[in-house]
Structure 1
């Protein structure tokens, strides 16, 4: 069956200087073995993520696991016809707590084959019912970027309707999800972007104001939703009200100085946020079904063209999610 795989790792152990597409193979392959009792899901749609680019660079995946099928996100059908969304966080079978807190957790495509193939196999507990109101393409966008945004906003930011949040960066999967979800929840949403076009598109998506990176804001905000890292961290802390919260889910431009003096003097809360639980994924799916909020899809491609989608993702050209159909 056709699958998109990471086939080897860069010579540089960090992988940061490597061209990730050099380590991609889209070709016919035999299915990989998986644990007994896992459930096969026929993939109807899968979404691309930056995690796929990191995997191609050899970050977060052990060389012994390669080659490995890429992909964290998928929606599809089980053998009995159940329409499902796949939760990508795989916890240890003996873990009884929330999945993302399991120190032995992994994601699809890190140790086990991922979703960029016609069939993915996962533990039965990792399946969530797909609402009939969502297309397979829309549902496939939820498990990584949209779930990350949901947890940042509704679990970790401490904000309420009427508060103001700043989303650093506009156009990526997490940032477009944050804008759409925050606006639907009655929050005032501000965004930053280097691109005038992306600032305009964020306003069309529901943001109330858009600013250049580092630009002084009209007033300080209740929470900053941060995934950029070094390039925006100082601005994020300066933009918060005393006692405000910055929720950070990533650092695409690298690690940043902590600026502890500002943190303790203005009593800021710095909250880390990673992915989300299966329960949160179920709530997110129901929220989309009942409110009409939908993931913004930039493009839908056949699996054979996954390299084109990953190239656009690497170049930062996508606005919203890129989806592939096996």
Structure 2
């Protein structure tokens, strides 16, 4: 089969012929029709991710058709159009992932290939209103956004949400899910074009976080019930100011500095704020997210679709932070 392979740190993604995966019991072989990039793929190529191994087929997101199963009892899956939940071995707790938890695409070969093997329990029937490209764009980023907003921050209709750094895959889903849930959503970005697109998606207002006085521009009466961030960095202290009493600040990444800046603890306890970490999501989170997608006939924001052989070109677009929404590979 053809696959996109990363042979080492800072090497380009290259298309190669590799062996098809071999199945064990309770596994399925999916003939992929589309796959999608996540920032995770970029960090792996850079060598800034835990558990590196090479060569590796990257890719956590995918949608396609089941062509083989490892157990005769599961043959009813064959021929079904599916979307893959890349959150593997989450465990029994809804509160936190198990020690065995990992994500499809490292250490296990991922979806940038004609075929991928996944546990049957991680397959879901593809929403009928979506194309393969649209379905493939949802899993990792959509799930991360879902858990952050609803399982962790407990967002309710009518609440006010600030989405920091809109434009990336997860932030775009945070914006979309929050708007569909009936929240009043505001955004920040480093580019006016991304703010314009966010307004088209239903954001009420947006500001450039590169402006020195962006906090004053983004201070609605009463503050924010929920603030969602993926960068951390020096601006995190501003969220303490912008959160309303009883507010929740949730984050799922640390791409700016890797650590929280020094915070004013007095304001945190006096305002009774919750600072929440979040990672990916449980099987229940994924099930609930797909039900939400089906209920609202939601479609993800796709920035661009590339042929499989152009995977390196797509990753360089992500490197330049040019995209708004997801970057997708058409596998066939």
- Calculate the TM-score normalised by the size of structure 1: 0.90
- Between stretches 249-258 and 103-112, larger displacement belongs to 249-258
Q: For 2:287 and 2:246, how far apart are their aligned partners in 1?
A: 31
State the Cα distance separating 1:26 from its structure 2 match.
Answer: 2.5
**1:81 and 2:79 correspond:** yes
Residue equivalent to 1:69: 57
Residue equivalent to 1:256: 260
Residue equivalent to 1:15: none
Q: Any unmatched runs of 5+ in structure 1?
A: 10-19
CA contact (8 A) 1:226 1:236 kept: no
CA contact (8 A) 1:142 1:285 kept: no
Residue equivalent to 1:143: 139
**1:118 and 2:114 correspond:** yes
CA contact (8 A) 1:150 1:284 kept: yes
Q: For 1:102 and 1:270, how far apart are their aligned partners in 2?
A: 22
CA contact (8 A) 1:170 1:192 kept: yes
CA contact (8 A) 1:131 1:286 kept: no
Residue equivalent to 2:250: 247
Query: Which of structure 1's runs of 4+ aligned residues deviate more than 6 A?
Result: none
Q: 2:230 aligns with which of 215, 222, 227?
A: 227
**1:210 and 2:209 correspond:** no
3-state SS, counterpart of residue 134 of structure 1: coil
State the Cα distance separating 1:40 from its structure 2 match.
Answer: 0.5
- Residues 112-133 of structure 1 deviation map (CA, whole Å, 9 limit, x = unaligned): 1000001010111111111211
Change (3 A) 1:301 1:99: farther
State the Cα distance separating 1:246 from its structure 2 match.
Answer: 0.2
Q: 2:293 aligns with which of 277, 288, 296?
A: 288
- Between stretches 297-306 and 32-41, larger displacement belongs to 32-41
3-state SS, counterpart of residue 229 of structure 1: coil
3-state SS, counterpart of residue 300 of structure 2: coil
State the Cα distance separating 1:291 from its structure 2 match.
Answer: 0.9
Change (3 A) 1:100 1:69: farther
3-state SS, counterpart of residue 77 of structure 1: strand
Q: Give the 5 Å matches for 1:144-183.
A: 144-183=140-179
3-state SS, counterpart of residue 215 of structure 2: coil
3-state SS, counterpart of residue 304 of structure 2: strand
- Residues 139-181 of structure 1 deviation map (CA, whole Å, 9 limit, x = unaligned): 1112111111111112111231111000001111111111111
Residue equivalent to 1:188: 184
**1:197 and 2:185 correspond:** no
Residue equivalent to 1:56: 45
- Between stretches 260-269 and 156-165, larger displacement belongs to 260-269
CA contact (8 A) 1:61 1:110 kept: no
**1:266 and 2:232 correspond:** no
CA contact (8 A) 1:128 1:278 kept: no
Change (3 A) 1:86 1:153: same
Change (3 A) 1:67 1:98: farther
Q: 2:241 aligns with which of 235, 238, 241?
A: 238
Aligned length: 312
State the Cα distance separating 1:224 from its structure 2 match.
Answer: 0.2
Q: For 1:288 and 1:50, how far apart are their aligned partners in 2?
A: 22
